[in-house]
Amino acid sequence: MFDELRAIQAAFGYLPGDELYKLSSRLKLPVSEIHSVASFYPHFYLKPPPKVDVRVCQDMSCHLRGGREVNAELIQAFAGQSEISVRGVSCLGRCDSAPALSINDHIYSGVGVPQVLGMIQDSAQGRPPRRLPSRRHRQQLLETDPYHGSGKYSAVRKFVADRDFKSVLDVLKASALRGMGGAGFPTGTKWEIVRNAPGVQKYVVCNADESEPGTIKDRFLMENVPHLVIEGMIMAALITGATKGYIYIRHEYEEPKEVLEKELERCRREGLLGKSILESELEFELEIFVSPGGYICGEESALLEALEGKRAEPRNKPPFPGTNGLWNSPTVINNVETFTFATAILVNGADWYKKQGVNGVAGLKFVGISGDVEYPGVYEVSMGLSYRDLIYTYAGGVRGRKPLLGFAPSGPSSGYLPASQVDLPLDFAAMAAAGSMVGSGAIVVCSEGRCMLDMALNATRFFRNESCGKCVPCRLGSQKLIDILTKWTHGESGEGDRTAIEELFSAMRLASICGLGQIVHAPLASIFRHFPDVIDEHLKLRRCPGNICFQEQG
């Protein structure tokens, strides 16, 4: 269905009703079902869009690096011009070069307002979009890549020769590799569950959707070590008996998609994919599936629904994807970083991986550091390092040499920690004990002079905007939190606000279907815990430390 919808939109610029009826006839599906799917995803238009559709990222890193101001300037510049629309949009995955924006779905970042004004005028006059040079990450010699870029696929070659699946699972278990997307489920155990699950057809899915603010590491890995991602998926397929795989990549990741496509072509030429892998009876077909959009697609069961051509609404669990995944078949779902490390471990061994950590913590991690730092970007680091090391040694310290106020260890999902906890280690157990999490490693830094209440509102608004709306606690609870927080940033409070917030926290944690609704409370809860004075400043003194609040906020 998605290919058909994309083709219609490419031809007409949107999805005309009569074309949906024709599609209904071709696919033999009710038009109501097609409309339900098309209306769910933000990259499909059910009515003609403006000639120039400008969307400025509103979320954490862009919010800290001028996105709000860029949005206001563009709105003012094109006020009254009906053919040009300027509005906010959720994270575009360019946190390391914020602020980011899209012009007719072409994404730009790290550019000034004068240049953006010129590009908008180009689009208004029908000129093709400019393609700016890609922002290159600082060169790093990656310990994770055993091939140093050559992609020899030695783990696949070894398995095809010896078929020793048990040793592969034993190595993964011994390494204690866990899912790096935030959930942290043991990788070896997940693959073993799928191997042991009955089923004629099994699948391997790579979750490359990463749409949470601050999360940019998977883009880096796909662009720099695509061979490790693909080899990890091939190994998962060979171990579990899967014969079909998908790389589910977010709509905004055009450059990583191109890199992956080239590597997939190479694998097919060399006999590493297809009907007869390395001239054996083993087979595995792998293709790229471009997401039609939405942060909720990063939730694994919602992702599966999207792959099946449905609305990306999370499933109730159990059952879990290991036994009842894509089209109700056993399915391995891991994210880009997990497949990358799986390859490195299978080539170098479990001991190698464990020795990469420091301070008694095993393993490596890719972190994305953005916000108020000198050198935002993605870094390969040892588990066990302190967040002080990550911010000051790797990312060059706080921008403008200002004091550190706080930081989010993993985007909005983790909430915020104060500067006093910057010596916490990059360690799953230690961060959980501190009431936070390592998560996906999306570290967003806030300098002195920022307003942490404003940052809580910004993070909560992201979750509200990206809720799929399927369950009432998330749909209504997130909006109610926005209502209260917006009042607070204007210095207004109601007598029952605190009680209402606590009740919302509890209801959303207990009754929301998926992780999104269960962690909407995290940003505000962290402000209550670590930055209570900022609430008093707003409500009692009517003062904002960042001079941001007490203004109109959308």
Q: Give residue 136's pLDDT band: very low, low, confident or very high (50, 70, 90).
A: low
- Give the chain's mean pLDDT: 94
Q: Is 413 exposed, middle or buried (0-12, 13-18, 19+ CB in 10 A)?
A: buried
Q: Give residue 333's pLDDT band: very low, low, confident or very high (50, 70, 90).
A: very high
CB atoms within 10 A of CB 204: 30
Average the pLDDT over 323-338 and give the result.
Answer: 97
Q: Give the per-residue pLDDT at 140.
A: 67
Summarised one tens digit per residue, pLDDT across range 27-65 is 999 999 999 999 999 899 999 999 999 999 999 999 999
The helix-helix angle for 187-196 and 226-240 (nearest 10°) equals: 40
User: What is the three-class DSSP state of 213?
Assistant: coil
CA dihedral 161→199→286→311, nearest 10 degrees, is: -160
Q: Give residue 554's pLDDT band: very low, low, confident or very high (50, 70, 90).
A: very low
- The arrangement of strands across the sheet holding 100-103 comes to 84-89, 52-57, 100-103, 106-109
Q: Give the per-residue pLDDT at 165.
A: 96
Q: Give the per-residue pLDDT at 56.
A: 97
pLDDT at residue 129 greater than cutoff 90: no
Task: With CA atoms as reference, report the closest residue to 59 among 369, 371, 294, 312.
Answer: 371
Q: Give the per-residue pLDDT at 138.
A: 53
Which of 192-196, 263-267, 313-317 is predicted least confidently?
313-317
pLDDT at residue 159 greater than cutoff 90: yes
Provide the whole-model pTM: 0.94
Q: Give the per-residue pLDDT at 151.
A: 75
Q: Which domains does the chain have, with CATH numbers?
A: 2-40 (no CATH), 52-124 (3.40.30.10), 154-349 (3.40.50.11540), 356-447 (3.10.20.600), 452-539 (1.20.1440.230)
CA atoms of 286 and 381, how far apart (whole Å): 30
Which of 52-61, 166-175, 179-188, 434-443 is predicted least confidently?
179-188
Q: Give the per-residue pLDDT at 168.
A: 97
* pLDDT above 90: percentage of residues in the chain: 88
Q: What is the DSSP string of 495-522?
A: TTHHHHHHHHHHHHHHH-SSHHHHHTTH
Q: Give residue 205's pLDDT band: very low, low, confident or very high (50, 70, 90).
A: very high
CA atoms of 540 and 491, how far apart (whole Å): 8
CA dihedral 72→77→81→86, nearest 10 degrees, is: -30
Q: Give the per-residue pLDDT at 553.
A: 45
Q: Give the per-residue pLDDT at 132.
A: 72
Q: Give the per-residue pLDDT at 55.
A: 96
pLDDT at residue 135 greater than cutoff 90: no
Summarised one tens digit per residue, pLDDT across range 84-102 is 999 999 999 999 999 999 9
Which of 141-155, 224-238, 398-412, 534-548 is predicted least confidently?
141-155
